[in-house]
Structure 1
Amino acid sequence: MSFRENKIDMPSPVCLIHNTEDGGLRICQEALDILDQITQSVVVVAVAGPYRTGKSYLMNRLAGKRKGFALGSTIESKTKGIWMWCVPHPEKEDHILVLLDTEGLGDVDKGDEKHDVWIFCLAVLLSTTLVYNSLGTIDNTALEKLQYVTKLTEHIDVKSRTGDGKEACSKAMELMRVFPSFVWTVRDFTLDLVLDGKEITADEYLENALMLKQGDAATPNVVNYNKTRRSLRDFFAVRKCFVFERPGNTKKMKQIEELTDDDLDESFVEQSKAFCKYIYTNSRSKTMRGGRGVTGRMLATLAQTYVEAISSGQVPSLDNAVESLAQIHNSRAITEAVEFYHCEMTKKVQFPTETQQELSDIHAGVEKEAISIFIKGSFNDQNQEYQNELVKRLSKEYEELVKQNMEESRKACRSIISRVFGSLEEAVKEDTYMQPGGYTEYCSDLDKAIKQYRSEKGHGPMLEEVLTNYLTEKNKVGQNILAADRSLSEAERKMEEKRREKEALEQKNRQLEEQKKMQEELFREQKKSHDEHIKQLKEKIDEEKTCSREEIMRLQHALDQERNKRNPEPTGPRNAALRLLTHGIKACDDVISPVTSWISRLF
C-alpha cells in the first residue's frame, strides 16, 4: 500500500465495517490504518440498495476497474458489512475518492431489518453522495424497499441550531444540511421516459415518483403513501436519477467482470459513463457542519465514533462526532506540529549559531511550517484552545534551543579562550611579567589575545559575556603584575589603574549591548511568531467562512429548485430552511469575532 506524493496505490478494496457473529458491527483496523495515512480531502461515494442488484459493479466502474468489489452470479449476497476502496480522484487534484460498497438490504439469509437500518445510516453519515441502486422501476414497491430513509431521524442524533438565537430549525433541516446528495440508479430499465405524452428526463421521472399525494394528510393511506417520499424530499436537498438498460444478455451477465465495454450494450456503456462523469464532477468533498473539510484520517475517526456508538446501543450523534474529531485531531495536530518543529530544528541548527538572529531566522521558517501543519490538521478549535497549547509548546521548545545555544556558545568561547590565551597563561605561571617593564608587555599580550579571540569564528552569541567573565577573573593577575613593576612611577600606576577600570567598564558595556541585542531579537521573534499564528488562523477562518457560505448557498439553491419543481410555496422543514439561510451568512461572518478576542489574550 503506497500513499506517497499524494498518490494512492490500493490495488483492491478492504473491509471497513464487518458483521460480528452476534449480529453487531465492528470497525476494521486495516481500513482505519489506510485512512489514517490520507491527509488529503476525501470525496466519499457510498452505494446502498437491495441485494443482488449490481451495486458492486457500479463501484468498480467508479474506481475505473472491472474487478475489485466482489460481484456474484448467484442469488447469494456477496458483500457483507461495508467495504472500502480508496483511489485518486479522477478530476479533483489532491483529493481521494473513497468508495463504500454496502451490504445488500433485505438479504433473506440475514433477515435483520435493524441491521439493515444501521448499514443504511452509516452509508448516509459517511458519504457525500449516496447512490441507491434498484432494479426495474421507481414505483410504490421500490419506495417501500427504501423505508430505511424514514427511520433516519430515529437513528441519528443531532441538536437543533438556532438561526438568530431565537428560533431553532427542525431536526429534519439539520439532517438535510449534513446529509449527502442522493442518486437513484435504476438498473434493467425497460420503460420509455414519457409522461402525459411528453418525453421527460430521468430526473423528472424520479421527481414525479416522489410527488406527494394530496388530500387529507391524516388518513392512513396518504400517510403511508407520502412517508418515504416526504423523507427523501426533506432529507436530501440534491437528488439525481440515472436509468440503465440491461448491459447484455443473461449469459453474459454471469461473467460481467471479465467483459470489456465492447462486449456490453452500447446504451448501457454510455449510461455508465454519464453516471461516472456526474459523480466525478458533482460529488463534493466530505465536510462537517459549517463546511469544514474532512480528510481520510478524519473519516476514520468518524467511522469509528459512529460504529462504537451503535455497538454500545446508542444512537450515532453528529455533535459527539464533532467533539471526538476536535479532541483527537487537534491533539494530534499539536503533536505532529511539535514533532516536526523538533526534528527540523535538530537537523538545521548547528550549535552554536554565530548570532542569535541566525537561530531566530531558522526558528521563524520552521515555526511557520509547524503552524501550517497544525492549522491543516486542526478541526473545530473552539476559542483557539489547542492553538494556545501549540503556542506554549513551541515557545518551550524554542526556549530550550536558545538555552542550549547559549550553553554551547559558552563552551565554544571557553575553548577558544583556552587556546588563544594559552601562551599568556603560561607566561603568567612562569613569572615572565614579574620584572621591570613587565606590565607593559603583559598589557600588550593581553590586547593581542583579546583581538585574536574576537576575530575567531564559532564562538556564538555569548562572545562578550564569556570574555568579560574571563577578564574579571584575571583582574587580580594584572594588579599583581602592575604592583611588581618597579619601572613605573606612582603616577603612572594610578593612570594604569584608571585605564584598566575604563577598559573593564567598556567590556561590561559590550556585554550589556550583547545582551540587549539578544533580548531585542527574542522580542522580535515573539512578535513574528504571534503574527504568524494570527495570519494563518485568519486564513483558515476565511477559508472556512467561504466553505460555510458555499454550503449555505448550495443548500439554498437546492431548496429553490425543489420549490420550483412542484410546490409554489415552501412548507414544513423548508420554511425552517429558508429562515435558517436568511441568518446563515451573518452567522458565518460572526465566526471571526472569537479570534479577535483570542488575539488580545495571546502573548
Structure 2
Amino acid sequence: MDKPVCLIDTGSDGKLCVQQSALQILQQIQQPVVVVAVVGLYRTGKSYLMNRLAGKQTGFPLGSTIESQTKGIWMWCVDHPTKAGTTLVLLDTEGLGDVDKGDSKHDTNIFCLAVLLSSTLVYNSRGTINNRAVEELQYVTELTECIKVKSSDEETNDSCEFVKFFPSFIWAVRDFTLERKIDGKDATEDEYLEFALKLKHGKSKKVMEYNFPRECIQKFFPSRTCFTFPFPTAPKNVSRLDSLDPADLSSDFLEVTDRFCKFVFHKSHVKKLKDGITVTGRVLGHLAKTYVDTIASGAVPCLENAVIAMAMIENEAAVKEGLEVYQSGMEKMKDSFPLELKKVSSKHQRLSKMATQTFMKRSFRDTDGKYLKSLEENINKLFDGYLCQNEQASKRRCEDLLSSLSEPMMENLKQGSYAKPGGYDLFFKDLEDIVKNYNSQANKEVKAEEVLEEFLKQKSVDSKAILQADKKLTEKEKQIKEEREKAALLQQEIKATEEKLRQLEEKMEAERQSNEERMRQMKVKMDEELRLQREEAERAMDSKLREQADLLEKGFKDMADRMSQEMEEFKRQNSEAESNRAREFAEMFKNIFKTHEQTIAMMMQQHKEQIEAIHKMNARSSGCFIM
C-alpha cells in the first residue's frame, strides 16, 4: 500500500462498520502480520509515529489544528523491514476524548478494537506519566466489561486470561521535559514507567481508585515498555512536523524516534489468536469484521467465539484450496490419458499429499476432523472420476487398436474367404494373430483384458457360423473345437476379472498410503497446536509469577496471596484445556480412521465379490473339455 486507507468507520446510523475496500486488501495478504496500533488522546501526535514506522514522512494525516484528524481506525500495510515473509500492519486510531464527539462509549469501542486487533499497542500521551495521565487511560479499566475470553453464558470475570492474548504495551510520552530521576538517581524509561505504575498501600476508596488502573495495566499486558520523547522542534513548527526537514528537528527527538522504531521492528511479535494461532492479513480482516459486527449489535466481543468463527471460515477455505491443488495437478495429467494405473495412483498419492499440506497450512482447530474428512472424501470422489476417465480413454484406445488389427479379417468375412472347407482353421489362425499382436501392443492398458474379452465374445458368433459351415471337419472335430473355444473365452473372462482384482488391490494400497500420510500430517499439526497452546499458557504464567514476585517485594502480601489462588485456578484451567484438546484430537483421529475404514470396507467387499467370481469361473473352467 502506498498510502493508508480507512479500515473501520462510523456509519450513518452512528455504529462502527468495516470498509469493504480495506477488507479486500487484507484478503490478499496471506503472510503472517505484525499489527501495531496507536491509541491516545486526540492531537497528541500519534500519526507521526505511525508514518515513521511505515518509513515515510507523510501518510497518516497529522493535522495542524486543534481538531482531531483521524476518524475511526485507519490502516497501512507495508513490508516488514526486519522480518522476511511478514507484513507490518499499522493502525492509527481516532483520538480519544475529542470534545466534539461527546461519546465515551465510542472511545471505549475504538480502544477495545485496537487491543483486540494488535500485537503491539502504543499508548501516546503528552507531558509526564502522572496520576492524571494514568486516569486518562481509563479505557483499560473498562476492558473487563468490553471483552470476553470464553463464550460461557455465565457472568464470570475471565480477565485473568487477558495476559495470554493481549498485545505488548508501549507508553510513548511526548514533549517530555522532566529529568528521569527516582529518589535522586537516574532512571531508565522503563523504570520511570514502572515507578509511575507503582501501587499504594492501603484499602481506602481513594487508594483503591488510585491502584485500579495501574493494576489493570500490570495484569493485562505481559510486556511494558516506555519511550520519552523531547519536544521535536520549536512550538511554532510543530503543526508542520510532516513537512519539516530532519535537520529542523531536535537530534534528541530523532534519536528517541529511531530507537522507538527499531524496538517495534525487532520486538513486536506476529499477531496470534487464542491457542497461539498465527494471524495472516486475511484472518485479520475476518477478525475486524467479526469484532465490529459484534460491537455494532450491542454484544461483547468474545475471543473464543472469534476463533470458532475464524476456524470455520479458514477451514472451509482450506478444504477448497486443497482440492484446487489436487484437481489442477490431475487435470494436467488428464491430457496424457490413458496411462498405467500405477502412474495414475502415484500421481494421486503425490497430489493428495500436497493437498493435505495446503489444507494443514491454512486450517486450525478442526477439532472433530470434519474438514479433513471432507477433504479426503472429495479427493477420493475426484480420484474415482479420474480413474473412470482414464479407463474410458484406455477402452477407446484398445477398441481402436482391435478395430485396426481386425480390418483384414473383417474384409475376408465380407468376401466369404472363410466360407469354404478348412475356413474355420484359417479364421482361427487369423484370430490368434490378432490376439497376439493386440497383447503385445496393449499389454499395459488398464482395459486391455476387458476389451479383448468383449471382442472375443463378439467374434465367437462368426466363429460358430464358420465352424458349423466347414464341411472339412467331422461332427466330433467340430465339438472339440467348440469346447476349446468356450474354454478360451472363459480363460479370457478369468484374466479380465483377475486384472480388475489387481487394479482394485492397487487402488486400495494407494488409499492406504494416502491415509497414512494424511494421519501423519495431522499428528504433526496437532502436536504443533498443543505446543503453541502450552507455550501460550507458560508465557502467561511467567508473567503472573513476575507480577506476584513484584507484589511480594513491594509488600503487597494480600494481593500476592490472591495472585497465588488465581494462578492455581489458571493452572487448573490450562490443564483442563490441554486435556480437552487431547481428547478432541483423539476423537478426530477416530473419525478420520473410521472414514478410511469405511472406504476400505467398501473396496474389500468389491474385492471379495471379484474373488468369488474368479472361483466360480475356475469351477466352470475345470468342467470344460480342453483338447
TM-score (norm 1): 0.92
Instruction: State whether residues 158 and 319 of structure 1, in contact with CA within 8 Å, keep that contact through their aligned partners in structure 2.
Output: yes
Higher helix content, 1 or 2: 2
Residue 99 (structure 1) shift: 1.0
Where in structure 2 are the equivalents of 1:183-198 lying within 5 Å?
Answer: 183-198=170-185
CA distance in 2, matches of 1:378, 1:204: 42
Of 540, 564, 575, the residue aligned with 1:555 is 540
Of 140, 149, 153, the residue aligned with 2:144 is 153
Which residue in 2 is equivalent to 1:212? 199
CA distance in 2, matches of 1:353, 1:238: 62
Which residue in 2 is equivalent to 1:298? 283
Q: 1:52 to 1:333 in 2, by over 3 A?
A: same
Q: 1:169 to 1:315 in 2, by over 3 A?
A: closer
Q: Which amino acid aligns with 2:469?
A: A
Confirm or deny that 1:591 pairs with 2:584. Answer: no
Confirm or deny that 1:419 pairs with 2:404. Answer: yes
Which residue in 1 is equivalent to 2:567? 577
Which residue in 2 is equivalent to 1:115? 106
Instruction: State whether residues 545 and 589 of structure 1, in contact with CA within 8 Å, keep that contact through their aligned partners in structure 2.
Output: no
Of 157, 169, 174, the residue aligned with 1:182 is 169
Confirm or deny that 1:371 pairs with 2:356. Answer: yes
Residue 592 (structure 1) shift: 4.0
Q: 1:24 to 1:431 in 2, by over 3 A?
A: same
Residue 176 (structure 1) shift: 2.1
**Aligned-partner SS, 2:552:** coil
Which residue in 2 is equivalent to 1:475? 460
Instruction: State whether residues 181 and 238 of structure 1, in contact with CA within 8 Å, keep that contact through their aligned partners in structure 2.
Output: yes
Q: Any idea what the Cα deviations from partners look like across 1:422-459, whole Å, max 9, x if unmatched?
A: 22122223221111222222122212222332333698
CA distance in 2, matches of 1:251, 1:429: 110
Q: Which amino acid aligns with 1:596?
A: A
Confirm or deny that 1:453 pairs with 2:453. Answer: no
Which residue in 2 is equivalent to 1:76? 67
Instruction: State whether residues 169 and 580 of structure 1, in contact with CA within 8 Å, keep that contact through their aligned partners in structure 2.
Output: no
Q: Which amino acid aligns with 1:115?
A: H
Confirm or deny that 1:24 pairs with 2:15. Answer: yes
Residue 27 (structure 1) shift: 0.5
Of 79, 83, 100, the residue aligned with 1:88 is 79
Confirm or deny that 1:254 pairs with 2:254. Answer: no
Of 397, 405, 424, the residue aligned with 2:382 is 397
Q: Which amino acid aligns with 2:440?
A: S
Q: Which amino acid aligns with 2:490?
A: L
Which residue in 2 is equivalent to 1:102? 93
CA distance in 2, matches of 1:577, 1:100: 33
Alpha-carbon RMSD across the aligned residues, in angstroms, is 2.3
- Please identify, of 482-491 and 72-81, the stretch whose mean Cα deviation from structure 2 is larger: 482-491
Q: Any idea what the Cα deviations from partners look like across 1:389-421, whole Å, max 9, x if unmatched?
A: 222222222222222222232223222222222
Which residue in 2 is equivalent to 1:602? 595
CA distance in 2, matches of 1:432, 1:578: 99
Which residue in 1 is equivalent to 2:491? 506
| 5+ residue gaps, structure 2 | 597-627
Q: Any idea what the Cα deviations from partners look like across 1:44-88, whole Å, max 9, x if unmatched?
A: 111100111111111111112222211112212111000111112
Where in structure 2 are the equivalents of 1:221-370 lying within 5 Å?
Answer: 221-350=206-335, 352-370=337-355
Confirm or deny that 1:172 pairs with 2:159. Answer: yes
**Aligned-partner SS, 1:16:** strand
Instruction: State whether residues 123 and 171 of structure 2, in contact with CA within 8 Å, keep that contact through their aligned partners in structure 1.
Output: yes
CA distance in 1, matches of 2:576, 2:297: 39
Residue 491 (structure 1) shift: 4.8
Instruction: State whether residues 44 and 285 of structure 1, in contact with CA within 8 Å, keep that contact through their aligned partners in structure 2.
Output: yes
**Aligned-partner SS, 1:380:** coil
Q: Which amino acid aligns with 1:209?
A: A
CA distance in 1, matches of 2:562, 2:58: 45
CA distance in 2, matches of 1:585, 1:314: 29
Percent of paired sites with the same residue:
43
Confirm or deny that 1:144 pairs with 2:142. Answer: no
CA distance in 1, matches of 2:562, 2:258: 37
Residue 587 (structure 1) shift: 4.8
Which residue in 2 is equivalent to 1:36? 27
- Please identify, of 110-119 and 522-531, the stretch whose mean Cα deviation from structure 2 is larger: 522-531
Residue 34 (structure 1) shift: 0.9
Which residue in 2 is equivalent to 1:66? 57
Residue 523 (structure 1) shift: 0.4
Which residue in 1 is equivalent to 2:527? 542
Which residue in 2 is equivalent to 1:6? none
Instruction: State whether residues 219 and 547 of structure 2, in contact with CA within 8 Å, keep that contact through their aligned partners in structure 1.
Output: no
**Aligned-partner SS, 1:567:** helix
Residue 574 (structure 1) shift: 6.2
Instruction: State whether residues 150 and 305 of structure 2, in contact with CA within 8 Å, keep that contact through their aligned partners in structure 1.
Output: no
Which residue in 1 is equivalent to 2:122? 131
Instruction: State whether residues 349 and 359 of structure 1, in contact with CA within 8 Å, keep that contact through their aligned partners in structure 2.
Output: no
**Aligned-partner SS, 2:509:** helix
**Aligned-partner SS, 1:255:** helix
**Aligned-partner SS, 2:34:** strand
Which residue in 2 is equivalent to 1:438? 423
CA distance in 1, matches of 2:188, 2:488: 95
Q: 1:262 to 1:577 in 2, by over 3 A?
A: farther
Which residue in 2 is equivalent to 1:165? none
Residue 480 (structure 1) shift: 1.8
**Aligned-partner SS, 2:284:** helix
TM-score (norm 2): 0.88
